[in-house]
């Protein structure tokens, strides 16, 4: 049986300890940050047609926001941008260019009649010269050349012009933006709207701490409620509960606002602080510090029916660490 040298034991122990330290170090630096507060520290939700566009920087969030990690908005692939035709498709399209139907019949009859006459010794047009008149054959070939060139210009010129106008003028359906991606217009945000955003921040965090999904349904879109519900279920499966208290709004500013498809959108950067702890079902703190406030900067996007109705939370985005 192979024996292990005593000198090898320290090396293996050191290696095992190093691997363990590297595994645990990220958890010590960010102790379950993904399970803190409503949203869990993720970027999730939808911002309409701007879901995949980076929000503009602001004073509160000068580095913008991180891309969405969870969203139900499908990525629209705009035809005509970044798409390449298959290899050889250009030549195939050129060869398959539509021709005038009358042009096809005229040329086919002209060439067919000429070849038939030459095969049977009557010249191109059966003029009676046969094959003895070489000069006459040249004259006939020249005549055919000019007739063919005239016919091509006569019947292909108009069609070519119309094709060029279609390519350079109005866009083809394949190059149009999908319906719904209209150019948004700005939306005026009033002082009452800003007050509503701050109150929504407090109300949603409170409902989150109380695990009140029904209350969230009146403050957020169904997409966001589904994310909150999943996060609360994951906590419950671990026998844990996240509690956010003493929320204080520090500052914030409007990042952008727009209207599209009958809805108003507003993305605001908000910096706030709170007591953020996670307890077990008996109330014992297992994560966080009940005496230490945590400061957070996030971008919240709200949506409502154009000009009316209450604002609903439709997205939360985290700010990149710098």
For residue 255, count other CB atoms closer than 10 A to its CB. Answer: 21
Residue 299 within any structural domain of the chain:
yes
For residue 306, count other CB atoms closer than 10 A to its CB. Answer: 12
Q: Do 224 and 299 fall within a single domain?
A: yes
CA distance 283 to 270: 30
* pLDDT, tens digit (0-9, with 9 covering 90-100), for 167-181: 333 333 333 233 333
Task: Report the pLDDT value the prediction gives residue 113, as an integer from 0 to 100.
Answer: 45
* pLDDT, tens digit (0-9, with 9 covering 90-100), for 106-132: 444 444 444 444 444 444 444 444 445
Q: Do 260 and 304 fall within a single domain?
A: yes
Q: Do 189 and 279 fall within a single domain?
A: yes
Q: Which domain CATH number covers 260? A: 3.10.450.240
Residue 239 within any structural domain of the chain:
yes
Task: Report the pLDDT value the prediction gives residue 76, as an integer from 0 to 100.
Answer: 74
pLDDT band at 277 (very low <50, low <70, confident <90, very high): very high
Q: Lowest-pLDDT range, 64-78, 107-121, 122-136, 300-314?
A: 107-121
CA distance 143 to 137: 10
For residue 20, count other CB atoms closer than 10 A to its CB. Answer: 10
Residue found by looking up tokens 């394949």 in the block:
174
Residue 234 within any structural domain of the chain:
yes
- Please say whether the beta carbons of 44 and 315 come within 8 A: yes
Q: What is the DSSP code string of 177-216? A: PPTT-PPPB-----HHHHHHHHHHHHHHHHHHHTT-HHHH
Residue 154 within any structural domain of the chain:
yes
- Please say whether the beta carbons of 216 and 225 come within 8 A: yes
Question: Total domain count for the chain?
Answer: 2
Residue 136 within any structural domain of the chain:
yes
CA distance 210 to 219: 14
Q: Do 115 and 61 fall within a single domain?
A: no
Which has the closest alpha carbon to 313: 236, 202, 174?
202
In terms of residue numbers, what domain contains 127? 101-158
Q: Do 198 and 309 fall within a single domain?
A: yes
- Please say whether the beta carbons of 239 and 266 come within 8 A: no
CA distance 302 to 311: 6
Q: Do 65 and 108 fall within a single domain?
A: no
Q: Do 303 and 268 fall within a single domain?
A: yes
Residue found by looking up tokens 């970027």 in the block:
43
């Amino acid at each position: 049986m192979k024996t292990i040298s005593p000198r090898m034991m320290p090396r293996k122990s050191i290696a095992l300890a190093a691997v363990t330290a590297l595994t645990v170090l990220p958890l010590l630096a960010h102790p379950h940050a993904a399970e803190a507060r409503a949203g869990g520290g993720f970027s999730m939700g939808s911002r309409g047609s701007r879901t995949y566009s980076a929000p503009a920087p602001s004073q509160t969030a000068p580095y913008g926001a991180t891309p969405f990690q969870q969203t139900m908005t499908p990525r629209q692939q705009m035809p005509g941008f970044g798409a390449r035709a298959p290899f050889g498709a250009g030549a195939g399209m050129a060869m398959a260019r539509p021709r005038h139907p009358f042009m096809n019949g005229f040329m086919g009859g002209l060439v067919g009649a000429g070849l038939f006459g030459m095969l049977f010794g009557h010249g191109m047009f059966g003029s009676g010269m046969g094959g003895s008149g070489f000069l006459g054959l040249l004259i006939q070939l020249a005549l055919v050349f000019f007739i063919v060139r005239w016919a091509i210009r006569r019947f292909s010129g108009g069609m070519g012009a119309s094709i060029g106008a279609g390519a350079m003028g109005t866009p083809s359906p394949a190059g149009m933006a999908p319906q719904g991606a209209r150019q948004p217009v700005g939306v005026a945000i009033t002082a009452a709207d800003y007050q509503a955003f701050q109150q929504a921040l407090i109300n949603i965090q409170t409902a989150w701490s109380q695990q009140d999904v029904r209350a969230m349904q009146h403050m957020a879109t169904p997409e966001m409620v589904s994310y909150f519900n999943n996060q609360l279920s994951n906590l419950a499966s671990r026998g844990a509960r996240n509690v956010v208290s003493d929320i204080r709004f520090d500052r914030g500013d409007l990042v952008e606002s727009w209207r599209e498809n009958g809805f108003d959108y507003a993305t605001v950067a908000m910096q706030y602080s709170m007591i953020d702890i996670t307890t077990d079902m008996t109330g014992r703190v297992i994560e966080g510090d009940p005496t230490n406030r945590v400061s957070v900067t996030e971008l919240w996007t709200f949506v409502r029916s154009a000009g009316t109705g209450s604002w609903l939370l439709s997205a939360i985005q985290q700010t990149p660490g710098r």
